[in-house]
Structure 1
Amino acid sequence: MDYTKLADLLLPSIDKTPEYYSNLYPERNLKQGAMVTRYAPSPTGFQHLGGVFAALISERVAHQSEGIFYFRVEDTDKKREVVGAIEDSITTLRDFGIFFDEGMVDSNSEKGAYGPYKQSDRMEIYHAFVKDLIKKGLAYPCFCTEEELNATREIQQEQKINTGYHGKWAIHRNATFDEITDNLAKGKPFVIRLKSPGDPNKRVICNDLIKGDISMPENDQDIVLLKTNGLPTYHLAHAVDDHLMRTTHVIRGEEWFSSLPIHLQLFEMLGFTAPKYAHIPTIMKMDGTSKRKLSKRKDPEIRVDYYKTEGYPLISVTEYLVNLVNSNFQEWRSANVDEPCTNFNIILENMSKSGALFDILKLNDMSKDIIAAMSAGTVYDLYLAWAKENDTATSDILTKHEDYAKQIFNIERENEKPRKDFVKWLDVKEHIEYFFDDFYKNSISAGTNFPEQITMEDVKIILRDYIAIYNHCDDADTWFSRVKELSEKLGYAKNGRVYKKNPELYKGLISDVATVIRVALTNRTQTQDLYEVMQVMGEKRVIERLSQDFL
């Protein structure tokens, strides 16, 4: 058969060659060892944790090697495309501190010299490479209908043989030129298939940077390269794009691992050097005593918007994901408290081969540490930004009382061991609302929380006598001495040991007196350090609250 004639017949408008595009997109001028990686989502839905996980790894290994990380959109499945999905991906990457050097900036614009970075804008490029394969006798048109393919699959299943379009089942593989022209004249739709030279009885060694060397059967399927509408399949498009964009490492989910023999074969038949592959283990979670894959249907934590709504600082989620990549991250973090997590070098070979286990409690612990290490100003800014989206009443109060709010957030923050009250921004309100008079008054009107063992008559006595000795200028030691002295004067034991010895001699403990003062000021039995709380509230507010009639 004259394959050049066939190629011109099937793709008559394509006049550029693979050599043209290879010259148009030359090898990148990077230092030896620099990686070129990509994040290439399909805009068929909004971002989830698995996508962020893959993008994070790809970005880090590229930039720590002084290489290039780019953002490509694989939008050839137009029927399932979701409006806004591209912008959602870009925004999500930015929110998680993942920045690309090249690629789509929004749905209609891009940056970089190796574009277009949207596959739907690269049709002529794919067609040029397919036309070249046809000219070499390595690809051909297939006119099978969906019904015919389904019927073939049923027969294969009945005979318990490998399903698919291969061997004797590839009925159009050896069609003559006349047979092809006859089908074209009849207007039959067709796909272009790869003429696979593979033998499933032979093995190919697939090297994976995470899983290691794995032996798999060669691919013998005549995979589809171009669909009936001329759009490329993932197999073809990713191979051409990764070659022309000079990708050195493809980091993707392990659901693609079984396709590796196909892709290695395709790279070879196209005359490309295959990139190195790293297939990321699936993020798992415990379900009872067994592990299972995080589910979009069952698990809200797989959704990116879950973390935003709950108010997790996204740096907390990012650091947790880095910890899932390499378990020695926490050891590094302990030794490098003040360094950004981007200074931690990710090593693909050190990833777990069995799957990363997602643990929300571990994330919470890490998030507590991260928020505790922030300055009061940073906490204020981040919480305010979250509140503006999720709690406008609180954001209005924070904006109106900025200096006061920052003082509140600074309580026990500059200590050697900062207090760890906050896991996420959703937690903050309950810890700070009593500082603000309207919240406090509403709480008091609903009922007070004085200790049950202290009578209201004794509550009044404690507060009256404490107001008499209160001095806002006292330092912490002097303040505590005054409380201790007052407690003993009113008949409260100075410590538990003394009280246990002769409980009938005392009304209670010094801690009971402190609790009465705490409840009068906050209507809480537990708060941050009481002395610091009073210092932030200020003398006027403290006296006003202590002077109320709580009956």
Structure 2
Amino acid sequence: MSNEHMAELLFPDVNQLPADIYSLYPPRKLPSSALVTRFAPSPTGSLNIGGLYATLISERLAHQSNGVFFLRIEDTDKKREIKDSIENIIHSLLYFGVDFDEGPLFSGNEKGAYGPYKQSSRIQIYKVFIKHLVLEGLAYPCFCDTDDLQKIRINQQKLKVTTGYYGKWAKHRDITFQQAEEEFLNGKPFVIRLKSTGSSDRRISYHDLVKGPLEFPENNQDIVIMKTDGLPTYHFAHAIDDYLMGTTHVIRGDEWLSSVPIHIQLFETLGFRIPEYGHIAPIMKQVGASKRKFSKRKDLDGTAEYYKEQGYPGIALSEYFMNLINSDFEEWRMANPHQSFRDFFIHTDKMNASGALLDMNKLNDVSKDVISRLTGKQVFDHLYTWAKEFDSELYFLMDKNKEYTINILNIGRTMKKPRKDYAKWSDVLPMIAFFYDELFEKDVLSGYQLPTNVSFDVAKEIVLGFSKTYKFSNGKDDWFNEIKELAGDLGFAKDMKQYKANPDHYKGHVGDVAMVIRVALTNRTTTPDLFDIMKVMGEKRVFERMQKFILS
């Protein structure tokens, strides 16, 4: 009877029973093979790449099994919450192609039948279960303040025993209703603790989805499940939510491994089915000759936002992560170059149990491959969206020259082996700036970058000669033959073989002549195919630039 009185004393306004809550969260109607996974971040800043990596694994496991992947925001620690974090998390997930089936939306609404999906909106649900545990004698109020806990800790250290709130050190474990009532009526703050049935002398066996079979000592600590502000701890809230929302598999960082005994005990005490856990090692950063974890404070490249700002297509980072998730993805990609990475099935038992290194060179190669598979129009659309947020100059140029820009971006894209120029959207403008007249004119103010073996006078002679014979309607063969004939007329070898046989006899070779024309039109010595460039630039612009060069 005293447990019932205790429960009513502490939670007089909680009138529902666990059964009432269960009726609101019926079992999901899914095939037995379907997985239900989640991403449950705290809104304390930008999404980090470790979180994004774990989330992609969770999303893939759910969707490749025709299951459900949901987003839940664990926002009960209001002191640490940062403004706009939830919006940032949602935006990052969508940008990187991690689609959630249920969860909060930009609008402030939610989708899905198992919400609310913000823990701050679920406080009453947690209290129903906490009250029930008190009623069953499985949890109790603890009125210890900071000084009380410190005294316990000092005594434990003197005796060289494990520190914590457990067993005989749990001062309020067997508190009577009368004692609790007195403290409560005096306004003494309290927490609710779980009455642990564990012993550190006993061990539990547990099979991790990533690390395999593991053993831990049982949890013997009477952990806090409700704080003095009435809010649940992470440990308790996640157990309630994962059960009610039907979570079957949880992927998280291996810093949570030490919490496994607590979580297993919580699920068992509550009578819930325990989800399967997979603990992944952190993604590592190369610093000099050593590797280390990414630091939230020191590493800007440790956030998902950084890769978005740099202009890595969201799908590129997700595809790169697939290489880290399962090493046989690369072989699969080579055999299936045109399929979506989502067609590859991941397996947790093939995952890297130690920390995978974020290799920027490999990421750039993967991103180049991803971008090379897009059409000019698709590249334009992605680039336009990115530039609108991050590069106003490029956005202005694209907006003013839409068709022209699509044609620029389409150069080298229609071949069997398309060009792989761009690793990220921020690479694009420096590589195509010469196409835009306003940027080209700025560039040539400081002079043309001619090859060292051709004088400016000879270069002008080349461009003048070419301008007299050039016909925009010519095909590529006729166009190149014109350049060869011009080379011969001006004392250059018509081909490399001829030049190499007698280099002293010529001013240079046909490649030098083509290079001068390239510089006159682009002020670059390295560009995509010159014929394609001229076709995109159009006859008027080509002749204007040649004339400008001749008169410079």
Fold in common (TM above 0.5): yes
Structure 2 match to 1:428: 428
Instruction: Give 1:106 deviation, angstroms.
Output: 4.1
Structure 1 match to 2:349: 349
Please give the alpha-carbon distance, in whole angstroms, between the structure 2 residues aligned to 1:63 and 1:546. Answer: 56
Structure 1 match to 2:195: 195
Structure 1 match to 2:83: 83
Answer yes or no: is the 8 Å Cα contact 2:46–2:305 preserved in 1: no
Instruction: Tell me, yes or no, if structure 1 residue 471 matches structure 2 residue 471.
Output: yes
Instruction: Tell me, yes or no, if structure 1 residue 261 matches structure 2 residue 261.
Output: yes
Please give the alpha-carbon distance, in whole angstroms, between the structure 2 residues aligned to 1:105 and 1:393. Answer: 31
Q: 1:389 is matched by which residue type in structure 2?
A: E
Answer yes or no: is the 8 Å Cα contact 1:312–1:425 preserved in 2: yes
Answer yes or no: is the 8 Å Cα contact 1:285–1:358 preserved in 2: yes
Instruction: Give 1:98 deviation, angstroms.
Output: 1.8
Structure 2 match to 1:95: 95
Structure 2 match to 1:337: 337
Instruction: Give 1:87 deviation, angstroms.
Output: 1.8
Please give the alpha-carbon distance, in whole angstroms, between the structure 1 residues aligned to 2:534 and 2:68. Answer: 53
Please give the alpha-carbon distance, in whole angstroms, between the structure 2 residues aligned to 1:436 and 1:496. Answer: 33
Structure 2 match to 1:545: 545
Please give the alpha-carbon distance, in whole angstroms, between the structure 1 residues aligned to 2:442 and 2:341. Answer: 43
Q: 1:403 is matched by which residue type in structure 2?
A: E
Instruction: Give 1:143 deviation, angstroms.
Output: 0.8
Please give the alpha-carbon distance, in whole angstroms, between the structure 1 residues aligned to 2:419 and 2:316. Answer: 17
Please give the alpha-carbon distance, in whole angstroms, between the structure 1 residues aligned to 2:262 and 2:251. Answer: 16
Structure 1 match to 2:527: 527
Which 10-residue stretch deviates more, 485-494 or 119-128? 485-494
Instruction: Give 1:158 deviation, angstroms.
Output: 4.5
Instruction: Give 1:469 deviation, angstroms.
Output: 2.1
Mapping 1:32-181, distance limit 5 Å: 32-106=32-106, 108-181=108-181
Answer yes or no: is the 8 Å Cα contact 1:193–1:222 preserved in 2: yes
Answer yes or no: is the 8 Å Cα contact 2:104–2:111 preserved in 1: yes
Instruction: Give 1:418 deviation, angstroms.
Output: 1.1
Instruction: Give 1:312 deviation, angstroms.
Output: 1.2
Please give the alpha-carbon distance, in whole angstroms, between the structure 1 residues aligned to 2:153 and 2:479. Answer: 84
Structure 1 match to 2:321: 321
Answer yes or no: is the 8 Å Cα contact 2:5–2:177 preserved in 1: no
Structure 2 match to 1:220: 220
Q: Could you give the per-residue CA deviations for residues 76-133 of structure 1, whole angstroms, max 9, x where no partner exists?
A: 1112122222222222211222222222224742222222222122222211111221
Mapping 1:185-334, distance limit 5 Å: 185-334=185-334
RMSD over aligned Cα, in angstroms? 1.7
Runs of 4+ in 1 over 6 A off after TM superposition: none
Mapping 1:502-517, distance limit 5 Å: 502-517=502-517
Alpha carbons of 1:344 and 1:528: their partners in 2 closer, same or farther (altered >3 Å)? same
Please give the alpha-carbon distance, in whole angstroms, between the structure 1 residues aligned to 2:199 and 2:505. Answer: 93
Which 10-residue stretch deviates more, 502-511 or 374-383? 502-511
Instruction: Give 1:156 deviation, angstroms.
Output: 3.0
Alpha carbons of 1:263 and 1:315: their partners in 2 closer, same or farther (altered >3 Å)? same
Instruction: Give 1:507 deviation, angstroms.
Output: 0.8
Instruction: Give 1:529 deviation, angstroms.
Output: 0.4
Instruction: Give 1:222 deviation, angstroms.
Output: 0.3
Alpha carbons of 1:107 and 1:371: their partners in 2 closer, same or farther (altered >3 Å)? closer
Q: Secondary structure at the match of 1:291?
A: strand
Answer yes or no: is the 8 Å Cα contact 2:372–2:413 preserved in 1: yes
Alpha carbons of 1:160 and 1:502: their partners in 2 closer, same or farther (altered >3 Å)? farther
Identity value in percent = 51
Structure 2 match to 1:28: 28
Q: Secondary structure at the match of 1:414?
A: coil
Which 10-residue stretch deviates more, 175-184 or 351-360? 175-184
Please give the alpha-carbon distance, in whole angstroms, between the structure 2 residues aligned to 1:395 and 1:515. Answer: 30
Mapping 1:404-483, distance limit 5 Å: 404-483=404-483
TM-score of the two chains, using structure 2 as the length reference: 0.96
Instruction: Give 1:434 deviation, angstroms.
Output: 0.9
Q: How many residues align?
A: 551
Q: 2:15 is matched by which residue type in structure 1?
A: D
Answer yes or no: is the 8 Å Cα contact 1:206–1:261 preserved in 2: no
Where does the alignment leave 5 or more consecutive residues of structure 1 unmatched? Answer: none
Structure 2 match to 1:401: 401
Please give the alpha-carbon distance, in whole angstroms, between the structure 2 residues aligned to 1:288 and 1:455. Answer: 44
Answer yes or no: is the 8 Å Cα contact 2:36–2:69 preserved in 1: yes
Q: Secondary structure at the match of 2:79?
A: helix
Answer yes or no: is the 8 Å Cα contact 2:197–2:220 preserved in 1: yes
Q: 2:124 is matched by which residue type in structure 1?
A: E
Q: Could you give the per-residue CA deviations for residues 146-168 of structure 1, whole angstroms, max 9, x where no partner exists?
A: 12212322443444432211122
Answer yes or no: is the 8 Å Cα contact 1:87–1:107 preserved in 2: no
TM-score of the two chains, using structure 1 as the length reference: 0.96
Q: 2:235 is matched by which residue type in structure 1?
A: H
Please give the alpha-carbon distance, in whole angstroms, between the structure 1 residues aligned to 2:52 and 2:415. Answer: 34
Instruction: Give 1:513 deviation, angstroms.
Output: 0.8
